[in-house]
Structure 1
Amino acid sequence: MNIAVLSGKGGTGKTTVSTNLALALKANYIDCDVEEPNGFLFLKPKVETEEKVMVEYPVIDDNNCNLCGACVNVCEFNALAKVKDDIMLFQKLCHGCGACEIVCKYGSLTYDKREIGKIEKGVAKNISCSRGILNISEPMAVPVIRELLKNLSDEINLIDCPPGTSCNVVNSLKYADGAILVTEPSEFGLHDLKMAVELVKMHNIPFGIVINKDDGKDNIVKKYCREEKIGLIGTIPYGKDTAVLYSKGEILYDDMQHKIVFDKLSKKTREVLLWS
């Protein structure tokens, strides 16, 4: 089963929930926040394998090109531009769709590959850990996410999604059988939670909510869950001890009090997501 952990915005505690819940569920941890993959800072796995992520881009044979501009016209991503006596290529805008090669009547286009990121895999605390890392200045994270989520095991896989509701999150959700939405009891938290709820509903993915930094009161998020009949998986209390452990980069699940919290979340996750 693949469980996606997401949030409407950054800073709600998504990675905190993902890393600790992966330990409680004895699940494989997969960090899809490839632009800022910080789950390894807490789990501290020993990286055993590293694999480059490559994407294709067109190479133009200037000696054979007659500057007809057909490749420029067919490119939906504006990766090609015709200027005076040349066809310019903007590599980082290219999606490698192959349309330019198809429309070129003179065989002036071929494809080469370039590196945009990497995949790291290792083991920590008896669970498998993997993450994607997008190279600095690269604009497109989706190819790295796709490569990271390719050939997932048949075990429990916990997918730590990117923050927000962008195409990076959508591509992570394609592999999900269930979802956990992490939020905080604030107006901003509720506002962005609603967007995340609409996203998982759009994909018909069973989901439940975890409230981080919970104040112990009947806050606006709890009221929202009741009104919308959304399953509340559980809460993580707002306290100084949690903040201290987090600031030190320590895993909360190693602390007995927090272990009880995440074991309860683990049990409730199975109930809310109708998981047998």
Structure 2
Amino acid sequence: MKITILSGKGGTGKTTVSTNLAYVLSKKYKVQLLDVDVEEPNDYLFFDVTFEKEESVDILLPVVDNDKCIKCGECSRACQFGAISVFPNSTVVFKNLCHGCGACTMVCPVNAIKEVPKSIGKIKLGRINENLKFGMGLLNIGEPSGVRIIRQLKKHIDESFDVILIDSQPGTSCPVVESLRNVDFAILVTEPTTFGLHDLSLAVDLVKEMKIPAAIVVNRDTNRSNLIDEYAKRENIPIGLKIPFDKKIARLYSEGKIFAQHLPEWEGKFLDFFNAIKEMIK
């Protein structure tokens, strides 16, 4: 079972849900937790991870031989990212815009373009305990997109494990879409505010477009607003769990601790939520 945890905005509690769910489920199942928030991964802060493997993630950047180039403009027209421009005296590649798709190299009629590798980040793989594997991606500063890092990290999904949890980036951009590809379920984490509702609606639109079943987790719930309840009812999406706005939980989180480990009643609540997910998938 592959489950992606996402939210329309940052700071809603994806890390809280991902780490606690991984901890609770690993007591009963074999679990792999992948942190694909490659701009700022932080799941590892809550565990004692033994990293066993590290891989560089590279893309191939075009380099133009202007002595061969005939300035026909075919490469520029083929590039959907605007990363290559043809001028009367030279053809210029804008490296920070290039996604390494290789289209310019393929269409060049005089083979004036070659490709050289460039590292855009890395992935790290390890283990927390016998039942809990861990992986994370890290995008180099200044790089525009972490999609390739997420894609490479997902290649290391251990299909022999019972549950794969994917902690996505915030938002609904391309990296989030990549984290949702080929998963069985999505957990949408939100907060009971107007901003939380607005961004939740974007995430709901995305999972509906991708035809992925989903449930909502309301974090920092105060019982003073029914904004999320009313929206969930309208959209026919169940609210699977509510985590209260509790000082004890906040303190444990700030200390880098799994709150379900220190507040035992939450182990049962997370396990009940997972059992409900299994029923929804059926």
Q: Which residue of 2 aligns with 1:50?
A: 54
Give matches, 1:140-159, under 5 Å.
140-154=145-159, 155=161, 156-159=163-166
The partner residue of 1:249 within 240, 245, 256 is 256
Q: Which residue of 2 aligns with 1:16?
A: 16
Letter in 2 for 1:178: F
Report the number of matched residues: 274
The more displaced of 222-231 and 40-49 is 222-231
Q: Which residue of 1 aligns with 2:134?
A: 129
Q: Which runs of 5+ in 2 are unaligned?
A: none
- Residue 93 of structure 1 aligns to a residue in which SS? coil
Letter in 1 for 2:152: E
Letter in 2 for 1:62: N
Contact map agreement 1:149 1:175 (CA 8 A) in 2: no
- Assess, with a 3 A threshold, how the Cα gap between structure 1 residues 68 and 177 changes in structure 2: closer, same or farther: same
Q: Which residue of 2 aligns with 1:171?
A: 178
Q: What is the rounded CA distance, in whole Å, between the counterparts of 2:17 and 2:232 in structure 1?
A: 19
Contact map agreement 2:261 2:267 (CA 8 A) in 1: no
Q: What is the rounded CA distance, in whole Å, between the counterparts of 2:104 and 2:202 in structure 1?
A: 36
Q: What is the rounded CA distance, in whole Å, between the counterparts of 2:253 and 2:25 in structure 1?
A: 20
TM-score, scaled to structure 2:
0.91
Q: What is the rounded CA distance, in whole Å, between the counterparts of 1:34 and 1:215 in structure 2?
A: 31
Q: What is the rounded CA distance, in whole Å, between the counterparts of 1:118 and 1:69 in structure 2?
A: 34
- Residue 230 of structure 2 aligns to a residue in which SS? helix
Q: Within the alignment, does 1:92 sit opposite 2:99 as a pair?
A: no
Q: Which runs of 5+ in 1 are unaligned?
A: none
Detail structure 1 runs of 4+ shifted over 3 Å in the superposition: none
Q: Which residue of 2 aligns with 1:212?
A: 219
Q: What is the rounded CA distance, in whole Å, between the counterparts of 2:129 and 2:253 in structure 1?
A: 18
The more displaced of 263-272 and 149-158 is 263-272
- Residue 169 of structure 2 aligns to a residue in which SS? coil
Q: Within the alignment, does 1:161 sit opposite 2:192 as a pair?
A: no
Aligned-residue offset at 1:141: 1.1
Aligned-residue offset at 1:262: 4.1
Aligned-residue offset at 1:151: 4.3
Aligned-residue offset at 1:21: 0.4
- Assess, with a 3 A threshold, how the Cα gap between structure 1 residues 96 and 163 changes in structure 2: closer, same or farther: same
Q: What is the rounded CA distance, in whole Å, between the counterparts of 2:274 and 2:45 in structure 1?
A: 25
Letter in 1 for 2:54: E
- 1:188-238 residue CA offsets vs partner (Å, 9 max, x unmatched): 111211111111111111111111111245622123223433212111121
Give matches, 1:107-118, under 5 Å.
107-118=111-122
Aligned-residue offset at 1:268: 2.1
Aligned-residue offset at 1:55: 0.6
- Assess, with a 3 A threshold, how the Cα gap between structure 1 residues 215 and 262 changes in structure 2: closer, same or farther: farther
Q: What is the rounded CA distance, in whole Å, between the counterparts of 1:45 and 1:83 in structure 2?
A: 51
Letter in 1 for 2:271: S
Q: What is the rounded CA distance, in whole Å, between the counterparts of 1:169 and 1:224 in structure 2?
A: 22
Aligned-residue offset at 1:70: 2.1
State percent identity of aligned pairs: 44
- Residue 65 of structure 1 aligns to a residue in which SS? coil
Aligned-residue offset at 1:247: 1.2
Q: What is the rounded CA distance, in whole Å, between the counterparts of 2:137 and 2:129 in structure 1?
A: 20
- Residue 226 of structure 1 aligns to a residue in which SS? helix
The partner residue of 1:191 within 195, 198, 207 is 198
